[in-house]
Structure 1
């Protein structure tokens, strides 16, 4: 009887877990096409976290770690999946080996494909912010630091990495955003 009871409990747990996974997937399928409301919700969650940090006057290490993680995700969002510098090196090797280079009129269209897609960027932003909020309720993560140094270091890190990223975008002539790009289709 004990084995059968434990088997029933295990199977009921699996059924409950499966129901939660299905509901979670349905929620994600529902919110996927709604880009602007998703990001508004993410920004509100970020404001709640920042308000929590300011109000509690602590957990600066958690906030700094969260900000570094978001900066890393933002850089992945801005970079192309296929790095143009590597493609240019391959093209230069082909020219040196005698394989002819295509002229500018023969170049094929290469769409901008992100290393980190927008939806995954949103998902990681929401999950990391939720984890950061949760961590801000445990005193073990409230390590005493002089927060102005962390802010200054983050600003310097942000400026240096964005400068390098913008230089890379200008050098290889790619734009990760579609603002002002021509849209094709019926009116």
Structure 2
């Protein structure tokens, strides 16, 4: 009989932790879902987090390896954000692909990394990097100008390749310069404006 009670107590011990984790996960997802239709607010929050991280690294005068790793990760995310879901150079798919000629059917640009996941990954990366600045084990002494030069060279070469790819396959991953169509006009409002 005692073995049965001990088994229940042992099985019941992790329940409060599991319940708290489940409740926290639901609350976090709720607020994440509520932030979805507000991209400007989300990006301003991430920008302020990046500013706090930059100020922390500046005043501590260290953690350059963490910042370099963060920069490489952000560059990787940017490439995913600017790339089409199906790369016409690498894959042949039945999915919608980019039109190559004027006579091809228009297919919308679908990103490999959607905007929300792009934002979420960047925000999470800044949070992790910020937390890492509180542990001296990650403060490896390096000559930081070399890291900055490496990152700039990597950024320029990667963006050059991405821009050449955009020109070759004729796609623009942004809404800038794309034609916009107005909605239907209300017949009453147009007849009133004539009077």
- Scaled by the length of structure 1, the TM-score of the pair is 0.87
Partner of 1:77: 81
The 1:146–1:2 alpha-carbon spacing in structure 2 relative to 1, beyond 3 Å, is: same
Distance 1:116 1:177 in 2: 13
Gaps of 5+ in 2: 94-99, 185-195
Partner of 2:54: 50
SS at match of 2:14: helix
Gaps of 5+ in 1: 91-101
Moved over 6 A (4+): none
| Root mean square deviation of aligned Cα | 1.9
Partner of 1:122: 119
Distance 1:52 1:185 in 2: 46
Distance 1:85 1:139 in 2: 44
Partner of 1:63: 67
For the pair shown, the structure with the greater C-alpha radius of gyration is 2
Deviation at 1:145, TM superposition (A): 0.3
Alignment of structure 1 residues 1-187 onto 2, 5 Å = 1-86=5-90, 104-105=102-103, 107-184=104-181, 186=183
Higher helix share: 1
Deviation at 1:104, TM superposition (A): 4.1
Deviation at 1:2, TM superposition (A): 2.7
SS at match of 1:86: coil
Distance 1:103 1:126 in 2: 38
- Scaled by the length of structure 2, the TM-score of the pair is 0.83
Deviation at 1:136, TM superposition (A): 0.7
Deviation at 1:178, TM superposition (A): 0.8
Deviation at 1:185, TM superposition (A): 5.1
- How many aligned positions are there? 174
Distance 1:159 1:103 in 2: 29
